[in-house]
Amino acid sequence: TSVFQGRSLLAEKDFTKAELEYLINFGIHVKDLKKRGVPHRYLEGKNIALLFEKNSTRTRAAFTTASIDLGAHPEFLGKNDIQLGKKESVEDTAKVLGSMFDGIEFRGFSQEVVEGLAEHSGVPVWNGLTDEWHPTQMIADFMTVKENFGKLEGVTLVYVGDGRNNMANSLLVTGAILGVNVRICAPKELFPTEEVVNYAEGFAKESGAELMITDDVAKGVKGANVLYTDVWVSMGEEDKFEERVNLLKPYQINMSMLEKTENMDGDLIVLHCLPAFHDTETEYGKMVEEKFGLSEMEITDEVFRSKYGRQFEEAENRMHSIKAIMAATLGDLFIPYVQ
């Protein structure tokens, strides 16, 4: 057995540096197996429930394809398909699903729900995003950082944008655990909460990560290795559109921000968890152009399509890293440590 067997992934703070590194390295390993066409059916015959209260492209697709490659059967249970939240409690739902499925993914609003599923189902539960945290995304993101830089410790990752959403929380805490220098560059109104900063500072003391929270773009991005951003309006807060656009306009990732890193000729990459608003191709894009006269939001199309933009490598890594997470926590094989 491993330290992972039977465990849930609900929030990054529950995992040590060595455990997170293990999952990242295991993700790199199963990616290599996939590329070489080597079977990796660690979850033969298992059933996986995929619960989604919020929309998803990457997380759903990654859990589905990862399950199938691992030999498991994924079953999608959308919010309009099941009784959860309307006619049935989290506890009762968890007990039923846990008696039929070997593992449960949950994406939704409340962190309490994903914790309740873990408490009452008796099987590993993986948090596919809540309002507070996005832990499976972190394994893919730091896997992408490791692939690009060959290391994690000492890399400087600057997140610009909404500093108090799930992505900012997760990057700050996970980076702090892993010894990655994380800066949150955001307007003061959107600085991370004290609770999240306290977690991160505690971990940074252990790992030696240098943390910075600033509203000053020039200071925040100088010397960045990774510039990271996310949507200005997260799922569930669509009523905050106007307020966010006004607050976050100066925090757009564009070529002039890249110049401010003073690292454009060095080892700079740009990441985005996606979906991204970088043009007016989408319904949202059109609405923002009409209402606010902006044809791009958190990242310009120019940067997105430039050699710096590595968001599609990162998206692909969602599948590889989710395989690692599921296999490590649910697999009954001995999984060797892979550097």
* Sign of the alpha-carbon torsion through 139, 116, 236, 196: negative
231 touches ligand NVA (CB under 6 A): yes
299 touches ligand NVA (CB under 6 A): no
Q: Report what 230 binds from ligand CP, ligand NVA, none; CB cut-off 5-8 Å by kind.
A: ligand NVA
Q: Out of 29, 60, 273, 310, which one is annotated catalytic? A: 273
318 catalytic, yes or no? yes
Helix axes 311-330, 58-69, angle to 10 degrees: 50
Q: Report what 57 binds from ligand NVA, ligand CP, none; CB cut-off 5-8 Å by kind.
A: ligand CP
- The C-alpha R_g of the chain, in whole angstroms, comes to 19
- DSSP letter at 38 equals -
Residue list for the binding site for L-ornithine:
166, 230, 234-235
When CB distances to ligand NVA are compared, the closest residue is 234
185 catalytic, yes or no? no
114 touches ligand NVA (CB under 6 A): no
> How far is Cα 261 from Cα 234, in angstroms, rounded to an integer?
26
273 touches ligand NVA (CB under 6 A): yes
Name the segment binding ligand NVA (CB under 6 A); options: 96-104, 159-167, 246-254, 285-293: 159-167
> How far is Cα 35 from Cα 21, in angstroms, rounded to an integer?
21
Among positions 5, 16, 57, 306, the unique one binding ligand CP when judged by CB under 6 A: 57
107 catalytic, yes or no? yes
134 catalytic, yes or no? yes
**Residue-level length of the chain:** 339
164 catalytic, yes or no? no
Helix axes 90-100, 111-121, angle to 10 degrees: 50
End-to-end CA distance of the chain: 19
| CA distances in angstroms from 293 to 128, 231, 287, 297, listed in the order given | 33, 17, 9, 10
> How far is Cα 294 from Cα 297, in angstroms, rounded to an integer?
7
Among positions 64, 174, 229, 234, the unique one binding ligand NVA when judged by CB under 6 A: 234
239 catalytic, yes or no? no
Considering only residues 127 to 146 of the shown chain, the ones binding ligand CP according to CB under 6 A are 129, 137
Contacting residues toward ligand CP, per CB under 6 A: 56-59, 129, 137, 273-275
Contacting residues toward ligand NVA, per CB under 6 A: 129, 165-167, 230-231, 234-235, 273
